[in-house]
Structure 1
Amino acid sequence: MDIVQPGLLYTLAMFALVIGILVFIHEMGHYLAGRMFGVKAESFSIGFGKELFGWTDRQGTRWKLSALPLGGYVKFVGDMNVSSQPSPEMAAIPAAERRHIFAFKPLWQRAIIVAAGPITNFVFAIGVFAAFIAIYGHMFTPPVVSSVEPNSAAAEAGIQKGDRVIELGGRDIDRFEDLIQVVTIHAGMPLDATIERGGQRLEMTVVPKIDLMRDRFGNEFERGLLGVRGARPVIAERSGFDILYYAVDDTILLTRSIIDTLIQVITGRRSVKELGGPLKIAQFSGQQATMGLPNFVHFMALISINLGFINLLPVPMLDGGHLFLYAIEGIRRRPLHPKVQEWAFMSGFALLISLMLFLTFNDLASFGVFEHLAGLLG
C-alpha cells in the first residue's frame, strides 16, 4: 500500500503550528520569569517582522503575531541593544523606575530570566512524556538478551543468549530500550560493554553494524544494529512520582543522544549531511500530523528538546550565549565592554545565519532538488 505524502499547504500549516506552539512556550518561560522579578515587557511576539494582528494587555505588553513565523521574542522595557546592556540614555532613569528594567536587575536574576526559555522547552517535553506514560503506560523491557543473530555485531563480540547488559558505551542500561538508543546512534563505532552472565561480570567491546533504514515516507537514515532481541516488552503502569521519574529519564536520554550526535558530527564520525534544517522539520511535521494527534504531540516534544538544547549552546544571540557572557561577568565582577559584546553578538548572528543556510542546502539536497535541476540543465 502506497503512503500518500501530505500536501504542501498542509505541511506548511503543521510546521507553522509546531514552531508557533514551541516558540510561544519558550518565550513564555522568559516572560513569566521576567514578571516574577518585576521586569516589564513591552512586547511578546510570535514571529518576526511586520505585525499581522495583536492586542495590548493591562500591563502595557503588546501581544502579537508577526509575518515571519520562524521564531519569536519577548522585548523587555529598556532592552535597547542585542547585549541587553543599559544605554547611556538610561543612566538618567530614576532608581525607583529601574526595578522594572531588565538591564538593571542583579546578575542572578538576569541569568534565570534568560535560562527560563530553554528550561520551559524541556519542561514541556517532560510534561508530554509524563502524560503519555500516565495514559498509555510505560513500555519496559529488561536488558536481557533472548536471542543473538548469527554473524551479527553481538555474535562477533561474544554476547550470548541470557546475557544481561549492565553498561554500554559508558551508560548504565536499565531497560532494553536504553540499549537500543545507545546502539542506534553509534553505528560502526566501538562501544565498551559490561555483561552479566551466570553471576559474573564480563567486559567486552562491540561495534554496531551500519544499517540503512527507510521509513514509511521514504526518508533514509543510518542506524546502528547489534543483532540481539530482548524479552517480550511489557506495558508497565506507573503512578505518582514514578511517572515524573521516567518522563525526566526519557528526556535526559534523548538530550544525551543529541549531544552524542553533535559530537560525532564535529569530530567527523558522522556526516554533516545527516543534519536537518527547517525544511526537514516542516516535512516531518506534516508527516507526523497525518499519523494522528499522539504522534504529532510526541514529535513536538522531541523538537522542543532540540530547541531547548540548541538555545543553551554558548553561541552569542542564543540564550546560552547570554549565559556564557553572564558567567564571564560573574567571574570578572563586571560585564565585558559593550563593544566587545556587540561584536560577539554580531558574530553569533552571522554564524547562525550561515548555519541556517547550510542546513537548508542540506535539506534541498536530501529532497533531490539539485539532482533534478542538474537533470533539467543536462
Structure 2
Amino acid sequence: MQGLIAFLFVFSIIVIIHEFGHYYFAKKAGILVREFAIGMGPKIFQVRKGETVYTLRLLPIGGYVRMAGHDEDEQEIKPGMMITIVLDNDNVVQKLNFDEKLIIENSVPFQIEDADLHKDMTLTGYFINSEEKVTLTVSKTATIVESDGTEVVVAPVERQFNSATLWNRIKTNAAGPMNNFILSILVFIIVGFMQGGVPSNDAIIGQVTEDSAAQVAGLKEGDKVLSIDGVEIHSWDEMTKVVRSSADKTLAVSIERDGKTQEVQVTPKAVEASDGSKVGQFGVTRILKNDILSILAYGFTQTVSVVVLVLSALGSLFTRGFNLNQLGGPVAIYSMTSQVAKNGFIDLLAFMGMISANLGVMNLLPIPALDGGKLVLNVIEGIRKKPLDPEKEGYLTIAGAIFLFALMLLVTWNDIMKLFN
C-alpha cells in the first residue's frame, strides 16, 4: 500500500504539472481547452468550471489536456442520431445531449440530419413527431454532453488549436516538457533544504563509515584530499574515479588537515558494482554545503545531470544496440518508487525530480504523437510558411501513436518479467 500511494503521489504530480503547462499556454493563446484529465480510461469524476471540464479517470498512468481541434476524439455525429437539446427563448441551441442515460430538464428530443459545430454553427434535423426539417443556430458557448457523460464546450473554428499563431502553438506544445524541467529544479531545491544542504564536489571528506578503508587509514571528516599517488585531485569526481579503479590497491593519499599537509596510506575495499565488476571504495561521504546559493544551484545542476544521463542512455541505444532493459515503463517506475519510498520522503522527492526531468527529455523526442514530434511539425511549418496537410499530419500522428503503443507493450512486458526473475 505504501508503494502504491508513493507511486500515485509521484506520477500524479508529474502529470498534473506537465499538463498544466499545455493548459496554461493554450488558455493564454485563446485556444479552447475542453478537458483537463488526470488518468486515462473511463471517467470516474468530473466538474466543469467555465469552458473547461476537469475529469479524473480510472487508470492512473497519465493524463491529457484536450484542446479544441488538436488530436482530440470528438463526439461522433451521424445522420439519424436521436439526441436531446436545450433551447433558449430565441430557439438557439444551448446544449446537445448524446448521453442516452442522462435526462436534462427542459430538453427536447431531436433527430439529427446534419450538423456544423465549427464554422456555420448550425444543427439540422427534425423535432419528434414532426416531418418539417429545421435548421437551428447553435450558440458558440453551447455545451455537448458526450455519450460517456462528459460535458464539453462546442469548438468554433476561431477557438481551435490550428487557428492560433504558430508561435503560440509552439509555446503550447513545448510547455509540458518545460514544466517537467521546472518541477525537477524546484524539487531538487526543496530536497537540498530538507536534507540541510547539498553534496559538495570539493574533494573534502564528509562522514567516515565505521570499519571502512578510510577509517582504518585514519582519515577524518574535514580532511581535504590534495593528491593520490602523486596525481593532483581537484574535485570529488576526480577522487572517486581514481578510487573506483584501485580496488585492493594501496594508495598514497596527500591530505590537508588543520592547515597542515600529511600523507596517509589507504587501501580501497573491493565492492561489487551494479554490473558485477569490482570497484574500490573509501567508505566516505561528501560534505554538505548549506548556503542558499549552493542549494539553489543544486536544483539546476541535478536536473542537468539527469538530462545528460538520459541523453547518454538514448545515444547508447544507437551506438551499442537496442536493449529493452535500458527502458522502463509504468511498471518499472512503480517498482522503483516502492523501493525508494522505504528510504523516506526526501529520497522519494529526489526520485520525483529525477523522473520528472527524465519524462521531460522523453517527451521532447521527435516522434509523432509526442510533444517533440509536434514541435518538429511546427518548425517544418515555419520553414515552409504553411502547415502540413492535415491528412498527412494525421497519418504521421497515428503512426507515432502505434509505435509508442507497441513500444510501451514491449517495455511493460519486459518490466513484468524482470519483476518475477
Q: Give yes or no for TM over 0.5.
A: yes
Identity %: 31
After superposition, the Cα gap between the structure-2 partners of 1:269 and 1:350, relative to the gap in structure 1 and judged at 3 Å, is: closer
- 1:138 alignment counterpart: 198
Q: Please state which structure has a larger fraction of its residues in helix.
A: 1
Pairing of 1:189-208 with structure 2 (within 5 A): none
After superposition, the Cα gap between the structure-2 partners of 1:232 and 1:352, relative to the gap in structure 1 and judged at 3 Å, is: closer
Shift of 1:223: 8.0
Say yes or no: does 1:345 pair with 2:397. Answer: yes
Pairing of 1:280-295 with structure 2 (within 5 A): 280-295=332-347
Shift of 1:144: 8.3
Say yes or no: does 1:301 pair with 2:353. Answer: yes
Please tell me the residue identity of whatever aligns with 1:60. E
- 2:89 alignment counterpart: none
Q: Tell me which of the two structures has the higher relative contact order, counting C-alpha pairs closer than 8 angstroms and 6 or more residues apart.
A: 1
TM-score (norm 2): 0.63
Say yes or no: does 1:106 pair with 2:165. Answer: yes
Two-structure CA RMSD over aligned residues (Å): 3.4
Paired residue secondary structure (2:275): strand
Say yes or no: does 1:360 pair with 2:412. Answer: yes
Please tell me the residue identity of whatever aligns with 1:334. K
Say yes or no: does 1:129 pair with 2:162. Answer: no
Contact 1:211–1:222 (Cα < 8 Å) also in 2: no
After superposition, the Cα gap between the structure-2 partners of 1:161 and 1:279, relative to the gap in structure 1 and judged at 3 Å, is: same
Please tell me the residue identity of whatever aligns with 2:418. S
TM-score (norm 1): 0.70
Say yes or no: does 1:39 pair with 2:31. Answer: yes
Shift of 1:133: 2.2
Please tell me the residue identity of whatever aligns with 2:366. P
Contact 2:39–2:56 (Cα < 8 Å) also in 1: yes
- Shifted more, 133-142 versus 338-347: the winner is 133-142
Contact 2:271–2:280 (Cα < 8 Å) also in 1: no
Please tell me the residue identity of whatever aligns with 1:302. M
After superposition, the Cα gap between the structure-2 partners of 1:286 and 1:322, relative to the gap in structure 1 and judged at 3 Å, is: same
After superposition, the Cα gap between the structure-2 partners of 1:267 and 1:35, relative to the gap in structure 1 and judged at 3 Å, is: same
Could you give the per-residue CA deviations for residues 60-117 of structure 1, whole angstroms, max 9, x where no partner exists?
21111001221111112333658xxxxx9745579xx665432211111101111111
- 1:72 alignment counterpart: 63
Shift of 1:242: 4.2
Contact 2:306–2:358 (Cα < 8 Å) also in 1: no
Among 309, 312, 319, the residue aligned to 1:267: 319
Please tell me the residue identity of whatever aligns with 1:264. S
Contact 1:27–1:117 (Cα < 8 Å) also in 2: yes
- 2:10 alignment counterpart: 18
Could you give the per-residue CA deviations for residues 199-238 of structure 1, whole angstroms, max 9, x where no partner exists?
xxxxxxxxxxx9854xxxxxxx438876475986221122
In 2: Cα distance, 1:26 partner to 1:365 partner: 30
Contact 1:265–1:272 (Cα < 8 Å) also in 2: no
Shift of 1:28: 0.7
Pairing of 1:1-16 with structure 2 (within 5 A): 9-16=1-8
Say yes or no: does 1:52 pair with 2:44. Answer: yes
- 2:229 alignment counterpart: 161
Contact 2:366–2:372 (Cα < 8 Å) also in 1: yes
- Structure possessing the higher radius of gyration over alpha carbons: 2
Shift of 1:273: 2.2
Q: Please state which structure has a larger fraction of its residues in strand.
A: 2
Identify unmatched segments of 5+ residues in structure 2: 74-115, 122-139, 141-155, 206-212, 215-226, 246-269
Identify unmatched segments of 5+ residues in structure 1: 1-8, 83-87, 149-158, 167-174, 188-209, 214-220, 370-378
Say yes or no: does 1:29 pair with 2:21. Answer: yes
